Amino acid sequence: MRIYLDACSLQRPLDNKSQIRVALEAEAVLGVLALCEAGDLELLSSEVLVFEVERTPQLSRREYGREVLAKARAFISLNDSIVERARIFTTAGVKPLDALHLASAEDAQADYLCTCDDRFLKKARNLPNLNLKVVSPLELAEEFEP
Protein backbone atom coordinates (compact mmCIF):
# COMPACT_ATOMS: atom_id res chain seq x y z
CA MET A 1 0.00 0.00 0.00
CA ARG A 2 1.23 3.44 -0.95
CA ILE A 3 0.59 6.19 1.63
CA TYR A 4 0.80 9.96 1.18
CA LEU A 5 0.69 12.03 4.37
CA ASP A 6 -0.02 15.70 3.72
CA ALA A 7 1.92 18.29 5.71
CA CYS A 8 -0.58 18.62 8.58
CA SER A 9 -0.78 14.85 9.14
CA LEU A 10 2.99 14.51 8.78
CA GLN A 11 3.43 17.06 11.59
CA ARG A 12 0.57 15.79 13.79
CA PRO A 13 2.84 13.90 16.24
CA LEU A 14 4.42 17.24 17.21
CA ASP A 15 1.14 19.04 17.92
CA ASN A 16 -0.11 19.83 21.44
CA LYS A 17 -1.88 16.67 22.58
CA SER A 18 -4.15 18.27 25.18
CA GLN A 19 -7.17 17.48 22.96
CA ILE A 20 -8.11 13.81 22.73
CA ARG A 21 -8.56 13.94 18.96
CA VAL A 22 -5.07 15.38 18.42
CA ALA A 23 -3.50 12.80 20.75
CA LEU A 24 -5.26 9.93 18.98
CA GLU A 25 -4.36 11.23 15.52
CA ALA A 26 -0.73 11.68 16.59
CA GLU A 27 -0.58 8.06 17.74
CA ALA A 28 -2.26 6.92 14.52
CA VAL A 29 0.31 8.76 12.39
CA LEU A 30 3.16 7.30 14.44
CA GLY A 31 1.68 3.83 13.97
CA VAL A 32 1.44 4.31 10.21
CA LEU A 33 5.02 5.59 10.10
CA ALA A 34 6.14 2.51 12.06
CA LEU A 35 4.44 0.29 9.46
CA CYS A 36 6.26 2.24 6.75
CA GLU A 37 9.60 1.76 8.50
CA ALA A 38 8.88 -1.96 8.86
CA GLY A 39 8.28 -2.17 5.12
CA ASP A 40 4.58 -3.03 5.44
CA LEU A 41 3.51 0.28 3.83
CA GLU A 42 5.20 2.54 1.32
CA LEU A 43 5.55 6.18 2.35
CA LEU A 44 5.52 8.72 -0.47
CA SER A 45 7.12 12.15 -0.57
CA SER A 46 6.70 14.96 -3.05
CA GLU A 47 8.09 18.25 -4.19
CA VAL A 48 5.00 19.86 -2.68
CA LEU A 49 5.61 18.24 0.73
CA VAL A 50 9.26 19.31 0.73
CA PHE A 51 8.20 22.86 -0.18
CA GLU A 52 5.70 22.97 2.66
CA VAL A 53 8.08 21.42 5.21
CA GLU A 54 10.79 23.91 4.27
CA ARG A 55 8.35 26.77 4.91
CA THR A 56 7.74 25.57 8.48
CA PRO A 57 8.91 28.36 10.81
CA GLN A 58 9.90 26.14 13.77
CA LEU A 59 13.27 24.50 13.22
CA SER A 60 12.38 21.36 15.24
CA ARG A 61 9.23 20.79 13.14
CA ARG A 62 11.14 21.43 9.92
CA GLU A 63 13.85 18.94 10.91
CA TYR A 64 11.25 16.36 11.93
CA GLY A 65 9.49 16.76 8.57
CA ARG A 66 12.79 16.32 6.74
CA GLU A 67 13.60 13.17 8.74
CA VAL A 68 10.24 11.59 7.99
CA LEU A 69 10.33 12.47 4.30
CA ALA A 70 13.86 11.07 4.00
CA LYS A 71 12.35 7.65 4.78
CA ALA A 72 9.96 7.80 1.83
CA ARG A 73 10.43 5.14 -0.82
CA ALA A 74 9.24 7.30 -3.70
CA PHE A 75 9.46 11.00 -4.56
CA ILE A 76 6.94 12.76 -6.80
CA SER A 77 8.28 15.73 -8.73
CA LEU A 78 5.87 18.31 -10.06
CA ASN A 79 5.01 17.93 -13.70
CA ASP A 80 2.49 19.37 -16.13
CA SER A 81 -0.09 16.64 -15.55
CA ILE A 82 0.03 17.16 -11.77
CA VAL A 83 -0.37 20.92 -12.18
CA GLU A 84 -3.28 20.46 -14.59
CA ARG A 85 -5.01 17.95 -12.32
CA ALA A 86 -4.52 20.31 -9.36
CA ARG A 87 -6.22 23.08 -11.36
CA ILE A 88 -9.26 20.84 -11.74
CA PHE A 89 -9.31 20.28 -7.97
CA THR A 90 -9.03 24.01 -7.24
CA THR A 91 -12.03 24.74 -9.47
CA ALA A 92 -13.92 22.33 -7.20
CA GLY A 93 -12.96 24.43 -4.17
CA VAL A 94 -9.80 22.69 -2.94
CA LYS A 95 -7.05 25.09 -1.79
CA PRO A 96 -4.06 25.27 -4.19
CA LEU A 97 -1.47 23.52 -1.98
CA ASP A 98 -3.97 20.85 -0.99
CA ALA A 99 -4.83 20.37 -4.66
CA LEU A 100 -1.14 19.86 -5.46
CA HIS A 101 -0.84 17.29 -2.66
CA LEU A 102 -3.88 15.48 -3.97
CA ALA A 103 -2.69 15.55 -7.58
CA SER A 104 0.81 14.43 -6.55
CA ALA A 105 -0.55 11.51 -4.54
CA GLU A 106 -2.83 10.51 -7.38
CA ASP A 107 0.01 10.73 -9.90
CA ALA A 108 2.11 8.42 -7.70
CA GLN A 109 -0.78 5.95 -7.58
CA ALA A 110 -1.11 6.29 -3.82
CA ASP A 111 -3.79 4.16 -2.25
CA TYR A 112 -4.41 6.71 0.52
CA LEU A 113 -3.87 10.39 1.15
CA CYS A 114 -4.05 11.19 4.85
CA THR A 115 -4.95 14.62 6.20
CA CYS A 116 -5.97 16.18 9.52
CA ASP A 117 -7.64 19.08 7.71
CA ASP A 118 -11.40 18.53 7.99
CA ARG A 119 -12.24 21.02 5.22
CA PHE A 120 -9.78 19.43 2.81
CA LEU A 121 -11.07 15.98 3.75
CA LYS A 122 -14.66 16.98 3.04
CA LYS A 123 -13.84 18.68 -0.27
CA ALA A 124 -11.66 15.79 -1.46
CA ARG A 125 -14.29 13.20 -0.64
CA ASN A 126 -16.77 15.03 -2.85
CA LEU A 127 -14.48 15.09 -5.89
CA PRO A 128 -15.64 12.90 -8.77
CA ASN A 129 -13.27 10.38 -10.37
CA LEU A 130 -10.63 10.54 -7.66
CA ASN A 131 -8.19 7.66 -7.98
CA LEU A 132 -7.32 7.28 -4.29
CA LYS A 133 -8.99 7.30 -0.91
CA VAL A 134 -8.69 10.43 1.27
CA VAL A 135 -8.77 9.63 4.98
CA SER A 136 -8.08 11.04 8.43
CA PRO A 137 -5.22 9.55 10.48
CA LEU A 138 -7.69 7.54 12.57
CA GLU A 139 -9.37 6.13 9.46
CA LEU A 140 -6.00 5.27 7.98
CA ALA A 141 -4.90 3.46 11.15
CA GLU A 142 -8.15 1.48 11.14
CA GLU A 143 -7.38 0.25 7.62
CA PHE A 144 -4.32 -1.59 8.95
CA GLU A 145 -5.60 -3.06 12.21
CA PRO A 146 -5.57 -6.87 12.33
pLDDT in tens, 8-17: 999 999 999 9
- Mean pLDDT of the 12-24 span: 96
How is the chain split into domains, by residue range?
2-143
In this prediction the pTM is: 0.94
pLDDT at residue 146 is higher than 70: no
CATH pick for 2-143 out of 3.40.50.11540, 3.40.50.970, 3.40.50.850, 3.40.50.1010: 3.40.50.1010
DSSP the chain: -EEEE-HHHHHGGGS-TTSHHHHHHHHHHHHHHHHHHTTSSEEEEEHHHHHHHHT-SSHHHHHHHHHHHHT-SEEE---HHHHHHHHHHHHTT--HHHHHHHHHHHHTT-SEEE---HHHHHHHHT-TT-SSEEE-HHHHHHHT--
Looking at residue 29, its pLDDT comes to 96
What are 81-128's pLDDT values in tens digits? Answer: 999 999 999 999 999 999 999 999 999 999 999 999 999 999 999 998
